[in-house]
Chains A and B, each alone.
Chain A
Amino acid sequence: MGRFLERLLQLIPVLLGVSLIVFLMLALTPGDPVEIMIGDQNMTAEQEALLRSDLGLDRPLPERFLNFLGNAVQGDFGTSYFHRRPVSEVISERLPATIELSLVAMLIALATAIPLGVAAAIHKNTIIDRIATVGSLFGVSLPGFWFGILLLMLFAVHLRLLPVSGRIGFESEVPSVTGFLLIDTLLQGRFSAFLDALKHILLPAITLGLPMTAILTRVTRTAMLEVMRQDYVAFAEAKGISRRRILFRHALKNALIPTVSVAAIETGSLLGGNMIVETVFGWPGLGRLVVESIFVRNYPLVQAAVLLYAVTYVLMNFVADILYTVLNPRVKL
């Protein structure tokens, strides 16, 4: 328990540092951010003054940082001058789509990588192993934006099997409960709407999860080989326990420990990949919103989103660390 508290305390400086960097990204931007943000919007002098005092540009940096931090903790990231609504509101509307996409991508990655990695390790140097190794090599080398375009062309445009854009068809009006369409449709027992949502999420999730799938396959395979070499496996084998039982009861359990912690670290690729995948597939999530916001210089929104992504990532790493400790009997809590 002491270690847990210690790790929890270590989070504080990291989160502070992350916030400081996000703050500096905007604060140290060359040029007058207000000038740039106003752009072609028609603003009166009063509105411009309001924006200036909103951003507190006239005050010293440390004070501005403290304000930024204080507001951020309360979920206040200023106003999205493009939408003319609070940034937090605009972001939270788009968040469920992004979370759902990321979770499904992760699910696909785990569901592909673990069986494939295990099979490759058990059947080392066979064709299965080769497929897994070469496949994961391609997986880390494919640029996601290009792979997404190819999938879209093949399945949505040429074969017309899957929709080209969006999250769900129009036949399926789904009253929001959790915001996750896959869950909401099931909760309401509407199977065809569920399938419709699934059809929409399939290609983006595969594209997004690809690098993670590749890396996890590799990690699982290596970990599994490592465990299979351990003494206790040989010992169990000598005791006459069936090989199958040894592999799946004992070896797999231990081999999954590194897989799980690498999975958490690799959420970084999901979070970053969001922006690209959502742009390619017209997915109505936060990633696309951020990319659109960059080009209209909607700085407060970009800043808030970067902070949100980073904090999520820090927390994911923390959870991975704790999980690792809990799962691994060799590391004392």
Chain B
Amino acid sequence: MGNFKNLLFASALAVILPLQAVDASEIRVGFTADALTLDPANHRNRETETIIRNLYDGILTRDADMKIVPEIAESFTQTSPTTFEFVIRKGIKFHDGSDLTAEDVKFTLDRLTVEGAMGDGQTSPRKSLLGPLKSTAVEGNKVIVTLSEPWPILPAMLPVQEVVSKAFVEKVGTAGLATQVNGNGPFKLTEWRKGDSIIMERFDGYYGGATDIPPVGKACVDRVIFKVIPETASRVAALLSGDVDIINELPPFSIAQVKSNPNTEVMTVNGTRSFFIALNNKGKVFGDIKVRQAVAYALDKKLIIDRILGGNAVSIDGILSPAAFGASKLPAHDYDPQKAKALLAEAGYPDGIDVVIDTEGAYKDTVQAIASVLAKSGIRAKVEVSESAILKAKWDPKDENPKGDMYFTSWGNGSLDPYDIFLPTHRSGDRGNSAHYANPELDKLLDQASSELDTAKRAGLYNKAEAIINADLPYVYLWVPQDIYGVSKRVKGWKPSADSRINLHDACVE
């Protein structure tokens, strides 16, 4: 009966719905969100960055191993602790056919870092990503960047800054750049159907991209489309039915289905975002290291990674991802409810503790699972879901008298350099120190590491720092999740990237 009805519907609809022909030279990406803007300097949004990066290239970029390599620059050198020199490649063209010069690179950096440079008194929201960048100057085909203090990670921050055309920006203004593109990337903008899709076509005047990342040359496919499909199930369905070729944020529970489909496969890559639970070190309960240790032993990390994240995460015992610079093997606090209970009793809580654990809506499943695991050791955590802005205020590092107990949160580390994650989350009073941790010894180590130019010494300093926090446990360190993609088998030459970019320059279709 059911089958008959289906058949009836199918035949009725088949009459009015012709099958779609698949264009052989086109890649479609089913993507979680639309770009907020197409102006590379006017957003702080990961999805927007991913889309824009196919239209614009950066001064530098990263290869598959996250190594920094030149892209629009031909080479670069650090000439002093506070100056860098970038030699700009010749023969690069913008999509309108004009030449890219060192002036455009300087203009780009100034637009990002000078107060009010966006016009109408606006400053780029990306300014803080370039930290102590003080000034830029052009010498022939060189751009000299001067810093106000030593900052070894400047190169690590440049792959996320794309070069714009000075003449074009001056013509269309910041307002125009939000929707118009005159880029230098492998694809040029065909149409932006807002909220629905961004359609790009191959730019035939492309200079070829970074020489360190073969293949060098024009993009392989004629067209690429970022199709916005925010609903998770719809995105997976679109991949399974062949409507799209690549989807991001494939949920762990859909992996089996994508794998069992003959035309699709699953690709994973270690991410760069560390997840942890901030404990209120200034609070009465978590001010006691025994209680903090109890939480670490009470948390069955392995169970949660297996069951909730489908095994797609790497456990961490310090703040750094295992792939990050300066990371080292640290002692783990393996699941041990007896030990947790004993520690609580020692701290004066033989009957356990009642606390609140804060989180954003997106993680409520995970946090509820964590709470139910903690309860087995007498840590009764009530899950409270709030919006990020409200949580940021509640866990403001500048707050003298913080009220929270526990806060499930995370910190991104796209550069994979500790400077970008260790300092903000652990230095006394720094902007991401939601645990209100204050350890002068650690502060000293971190500050030393920030200006240390010798790589080996720098790594050693971070090793020491990680050992301190592993023992002191201002946070309970959880995991670095993998990014999971569903990919059609007709796509060749594409791999997911740890910085969550989807660069389609090298991707081909059969």
Q: Is there direct touching of A and B in the complex, by C-beta distance under 8 Å?
A: yes
Does A5 belong to the interface (CB within 8 Å)? no
Does B302 belong to the interface (CB within 8 Å)? no
Contact with A along B171-214 (1 / 0, CB 8 A): 00001001000000000001101111101000000000000000
Task: Write out the residue numbers on chain B whose beta carbons fall within 8 Å of the beta carbon of A43.
Answer: 125
Residues A162 and B13 in contact in the complex (CB < 8 Å), given A46-B115, A284-B196: yes
CA distance A169 to B22 in the complex (A): 11
Identify B229's interface contact among A155, A157, A164, CB under 8 A: A164
- In contact, B10 and A83 (Cβ under 8 angstroms): no
CB-CB contacts below 8 Å: B240-266 with A: 241, 243
- In contact, B196 and A164 (Cβ under 8 angstroms): no
- In contact, A167 and B28 (Cβ under 8 angstroms): no
- In contact, B388 and A47 (Cβ under 8 angstroms): no
- Minimum CB distance partner of B239 in chain A: A164
- In contact, A166 and B196 (Cβ under 8 angstroms): yes
- In contact, A84 and B37 (Cβ under 8 angstroms): yes
Does B9 belong to the interface (CB within 8 Å)? yes
- In contact, B178 and A280 (Cβ under 8 angstroms): no
CA distance A280 to B235 in the complex (A): 12
- In contact, A83 and B193 (Cβ under 8 angstroms): no
Does B26 belong to the interface (CB within 8 Å)? yes
Contact with B along A148-182 (1 / 0, CB 8 A): 00001001110111111111111101000000000
Does B122 belong to the interface (CB within 8 Å)? yes
Identify A85's interface contact among B37, B195, B243, CB under 8 A: B37
Q: How many A-B residue pairs have CB under 8 A?
A: 140
- In contact, A165 and B238 (Cβ under 8 angstroms): yes
- Minimum CB distance partner of B6 in chain A: A159
Q: Which of A31-39, A68-76, A99-107, A211-219 contacts B (4 or more CB under 8 A)?
A: A31-39
Residues A82 and B125 in contact in the complex (CB < 8 Å), given A94-B195, A161-B14, A199-B17: no
- In contact, A171 and B21 (Cβ under 8 angstroms): yes
- In contact, B195 and A97 (Cβ under 8 angstroms): yes
CA distance A288 to B196 in the complex (A): 11
Identify B241's interface contact among A39, A164, A173, CB under 8 A: A164
Identify A289's interface contact among B191, B195, B234, CB under 8 A: B195
- In contact, A165 and B229 (Cβ under 8 angstroms): yes
CA distance A38 to B390 in the complex (A): 11
B169–chain A nearest beta-carbon distance, Å: 15
- In contact, A166 and B393 (Cβ under 8 angstroms): no
CA distance A164 to B1 in the complex (A): 25
Contact with B along A172-209 (1 / 0, CB 8 A): 01000000000000000000100110110000000000
Does A40 belong to the interface (CB within 8 Å)? yes
Contact with A along B206-244 (1 / 0, CB 8 A): 000000000000000001010111110111011001010
Identify B227's interface contact among A39, A50, A152, A166, CB under 8 A: A166
- In contact, B178 and A85 (Cβ under 8 angstroms): yes
Identify B36's interface contact among A39, A83, A156, A166, CB under 8 A: A83
Task: Write out the residue numbers on chain A whose beta carbons fall within 8 Å of the beta carbon of B17.
Answer: 161-162, 195, 199
- In contact, B42 and A84 (Cβ under 8 angstroms): yes
Task: Write out the residue numbers on chain A whose beta carbons fall within 8 Å of the beta carbon of B231.
Answer: 164-165, 279-280, 282
- Minimum CB distance partner of B45 in chain A: A82
Contact with B along A279-307 (1 / 0, CB 8 A): 11010110011001001010000000000
CA distance A195 to B18 in the complex (A): 8
B333–chain A nearest beta-carbon distance, Å: 30
Residues A171 and B121 in contact in the complex (CB < 8 Å), given A46-B115, A164-B234: no
B161–chain A nearest beta-carbon distance, Å: 14
- In contact, B387 and A295 (Cβ under 8 angstroms): yes
- In contact, A169 and B389 (Cβ under 8 angstroms): no
B291–chain A nearest beta-carbon distance, Å: 29
- In contact, A36 and B229 (Cβ under 8 angstroms): no
Does A29 belong to the interface (CB within 8 Å)? no
Does A226 belong to the interface (CB within 8 Å)? no
- In contact, A165 and B393 (Cβ under 8 angstroms): no
- In contact, B237 and A192 (Cβ under 8 angstroms): no
- In contact, A167 and B196 (Cβ under 8 angstroms): yes
- In contact, A93 and B9 (Cβ under 8 angstroms): no
Does A44 belong to the interface (CB within 8 Å)? yes
- In contact, B125 and A42 (Cβ under 8 angstroms): yes
A152–chain B nearest beta-carbon distance, Å: 7
- In contact, A171 and B20 (Cβ under 8 angstroms): yes
Does A41 belong to the interface (CB within 8 Å)? yes
- In contact, B234 and A152 (Cβ under 8 angstroms): yes
- In contact, B241 and A170 (Cβ under 8 angstroms): no
CA distance A285 to B191 in the complex (A): 17
Contact with B along A41-67 (1 / 0, CB 8 A): 111101100100000000000000000
A-B contact pairs, 29 of them (CB 8 A): A36-B389, A40-B392, A41-B44, A46-B115, A46-B123, A82-B36, A83-B36, A83-B37, A84-B36, A85-B178, A93-B195, A152-B234, A164-B241, A165-B231, A165-B238, A166-B227, A167-B193, A170-B23, A170-B26, A170-B28, A170-B225, A171-B23, A173-B199, A195-B18, A279-B230, A279-B231, A289-B195, A295-B361, A295-B387
State the 7 A-B residue pairs at the shortest beta-carbon distance, nearest first.
Answer: A284-B195, A39-B389, A284-B196, A164-B234, A93-B194, A157-B237, A165-B229
- 20 additional contacts (CB under 8 A) given A37-B389, A84-B39: A39-B389, A42-B127, A44-B127, A83-B36, A84-B43, A93-B195, A97-B196, A152-B234, A156-B237, A157-B241, A159-B6, A159-B10, A164-B237, A165-B227, A166-B196, A170-B199, A199-B17, A282-B228, A289-B195, A295-B387
